[in-house]
Structure formats: structure tokens, C-alpha cells
Structure 1
Amino acid sequence: MGDSMDARLLGRELNKFFKALSDETRRNILQILERGEHSVGEIVSNFGLAQPTISRHLSVLKEANLVIDERRGQQVIYSLNPEAMAHSAKRFFGEFSHFNGKLA
């Protein structure tokens, strides 16, 4: 029972990870944040999209644990969460370890 629970939790974690990465705008936001932390307004200025739209994209990235937000006064500052990104990727590829040596 514990194994099936772990598998379901892993599945949900990976679904959030890949949902977050499936959208080009979200991938572009991650590229912006790769250069350093930014406020929502700074992120919005890189796109021809409204602030609520960017905020929804940031919410998906946060739900997948790919970004971290921090309130500073009236601004919310976003930054990458590289440890969580690496962890999710490692967990995904670990799921396929039983194929090692079998794929040609």
C-alpha cells in the first residue's frame, strides 16, 4: 500500500512539473528568472500579456515548486527554485531506470 501511495504522489508531482513546463510562456518566464530574481512587474514587461495572465503562469510554476516567491513591501519577488527543478527531473528519469541497457 505504501508503494502505491508513493507512486501516486510521485505521479502528481511529475504531472505538476510537466504541466508547468508544457507552456512556452512559462518556459520563457523560467529563462528570465534564470538571470536573477524579478518582480511581477519586471516579468510582465518582457511579454505582451496582462499582469493577471503572468500571475496565473507564475502560480502554475509555484504550484510545481519551480519558483519561489517572496513579498518585499508591496512587491512580490520571484526566483528560481533550482534544487526542486533538479529533484523533479531526477525523480522522473529515475522512474525509467529499469530500462537502462534495454533501449538501443
Structure 2
Amino acid sequence: MNKFFKALSDETRRNILRLLEDRDHSVNEIVGNFHLSQPTISRHLSVLKEANLVVDQRRGQHVVYQLNSPALADSARRFFGRFNDCAPDF
């Protein structure tokens, strides 16, 4: 769970996740959407991958990243599920 929150704590990583909501992107495509270097974007992608929020796949000469929607939803469900007993019934 800590890796999940570490990954989401950075605005650039959240923006990368938003970008990947629409479709898969190569590293170069992701870099083209930010004013950051390729090594910096790669470090952000490594953090997201370690948190299991993105997965990568080699397609020819390119590595393509995609949002791991099931893992993202599962982590959110596990976290917010802890508060079910605290929330009042409306």
C-alpha cells in the first residue's frame, strides 16, 4: 500500500496515469507530453511500475506503457474499504 501512495504522491506521476487512461503510450510519446527529460520520465514510470499501476510491453523497438486499471481499482478499494466502519449511514 505504501508503494501505491508513494506513486500517487507526485503530480507528474498522476498526470502520466491520466495520459495512459486514454491509450497506451511509448516512453517517447509520454516525454512529448511533458517538459521533462526522458530519464526523468523513465524514473517516474519505474515508480509507477513498482507500485503495479502501469505495465510495460515491448512492441518492436519500443516499450509501451499501459495503465493497470484493475490493480489501481483494487488498491483504491482496499484502502477505502478500511473506512466502511467509520462512515455514517446516510
Match of 2:8 among 10, 21, 31: 21
Q: What is the alpha-carbon distance in structure 1 between the residues aligned to residue 27 and residue 65 of structure 2?
A: 7
Q: What is the alpha-carbon distance in structure 1 between the residues aligned to residue 16 and residue 7 of structure 2?
A: 11
Structure 1 partner of 2:66: 79
Which structure 2 segments of 5+ residues have no match?
A: none
User: TM-score, structure 1 length as denominator?
Assistant: 0.81
Structure 2 partner of 1:62: 49
* SS of residue paired to 2:34: coil
Alignment coverage as a number of residue pairs: 89
Structure 2 partner of 1:10: none
Structure 2 partner of 1:51: 38
Higher-Rg member (1/2): 1
* Amino-acid identity (%): 70
Which structure 1 segments of 5+ residues have no match?
A: 1-13
CA-atom RMSD in angstroms: 1.2
Match of 1:99 among 79, 86, 90: 86
Q: What is the alpha-carbon distance in structure 2 between the residues aligned to residue 86 and residue 64 of structure 1?
A: 13
